[in-house]
Structure 1
Amino acid sequence: MAEWDLRKLQILRTLRDRGTVTATAEALHMTPSAVSQQLTNLSRQLGVELLRAHGRRVRLTDAARLVLRHAEAVFEQLERADADLAAHVHGEAGQVRVGAFSTAVPALVVPAVTALRATHPGITVRVREAEAQEAYELLAAQDVDLALSLAAEAPTAADPRFTRVPLFADPLDVALPRAHPLADAAGLRLADLAAEPWIFGGSGPWSDITRGACEAAGFRPHQGHSAAGWTAILAMVEAGMGVALVPRMAAVPRDGVAMRALHADRPVRHVVAAVRRGAGEDGAVARVLTALRGAAGDLGG
Structure 2
Amino acid sequence: MTGTREWDIRKLRILRTLSERGTVTATAEALLMTPSAVSQQLSNLASQLGVTLLEAHGRRVRLTDAAHLVLRHTESVFAQLERADAELAGYLRGETGTVRVGAFSTAVPALVVPAVRRLRAAHPGLEVRVREAEAAEAYDLLSSGRVDLALSLAAQAPTARDPRFALVPLLADPLDVALPADHPLVERDGLRLADLSDEPWIFGGSGPWSEITLAACESAGFVPEQAHSAAGWTAILAMVEAGMGVALVPRMAAAERRRGVAMRVLERDQPRRHVLAAVRRGSETSPGIARVLSALREPSRAG
SS class of match (1:96): strand
> Unaligned stretches of 5+ in structure 1?
1-85
Q: Residue 281 and residue 255 in structure 1: after superposition, are their counterparts in 2 closer, same or farther (change >3 A)?
A: same
Larger radius of gyration: 2
Q: Distance in 2 between matches of 1:238 and 1:88?
A: 54
SS class of match (1:227): coil
SS class of match (1:171): strand
Q: Distance in 2 between matches of 1:108 and 1:263?
A: 23
Q: Deviations over 1:230-281 (max 9, x none)?
A: 0110010000000000000013331111100012111000000011011011
Q: Mapping of 1:24-39 within 5 angstroms?
A: none
Q: Deviations over 1:145-186 (max 9, x none)?
A: 000000011011111111100000000000000100001110
Equivalent residue letter for 2:111: L
- Structure 2 residue 296 is matched with structure 1 residue 296: no
Identity %: 71
Aligned to 1:13: none
Q: Mapping of 1:44-59 within 5 angstroms?
A: none
Q: Deviations over 1:210-231 (max 9, x none)?
A: 1110010000100000112101
Output the TM-score relative to the length of structure 2. Answer: 0.68
> Unaligned stretches of 5+ in structure 2?
1-86
Q: Distance in 2 between matches of 1:203 and 1:96?
A: 32
Q: Residue 219 and residue 163 in structure 1: after superposition, are their counterparts in 2 closer, same or farther (change >3 A)?
A: same
Report the alpha carbon displacement of residue 282 of structure 1 after superposing the two structures with TM: 2.9
Equivalent residue letter for 1:160: P
Equivalent position to 2:127, from 99, 119, 124: 124
- Structure 2 residue 267 is matched with structure 1 residue 267: no
Q: Distance in 2 between matches of 1:216 and 1:100?
A: 29
Equivalent residue letter for 1:192: D
Equivalent position to 1:279, from 273, 283, 296: 283
Report the alpha carbon displacement of residue 202 of structure 1 after superposing the two structures with TM: 4.4
Aligned to 2:101: 98
Q: Deviations over 1:83-132 (max 9, x none)?
A: xxx97572420100000000000000000000000000000000000011
Aligned to 1:14: none
Equivalent residue letter for 1:245: L
For the aligned residue pairs, the C-alpha RMSD in angstroms reads: 1.4
Output the TM-score relative to the length of structure 1. Answer: 0.69
- Structure 2 residue 243 is matched with structure 1 residue 240: yes
Q: Residue 286 and residue 272 in structure 1: after superposition, are their counterparts in 2 closer, same or farther (change >3 A)?
A: same
Q: Distance in 2 between matches of 1:222 and 1:137?
A: 35
Q: Distance in 2 between matches of 1:128 and 1:155?
A: 19
Q: Residue 89 and residue 263 in structure 1: after superposition, are their counterparts in 2 closer, same or farther (change >3 A)?
A: closer
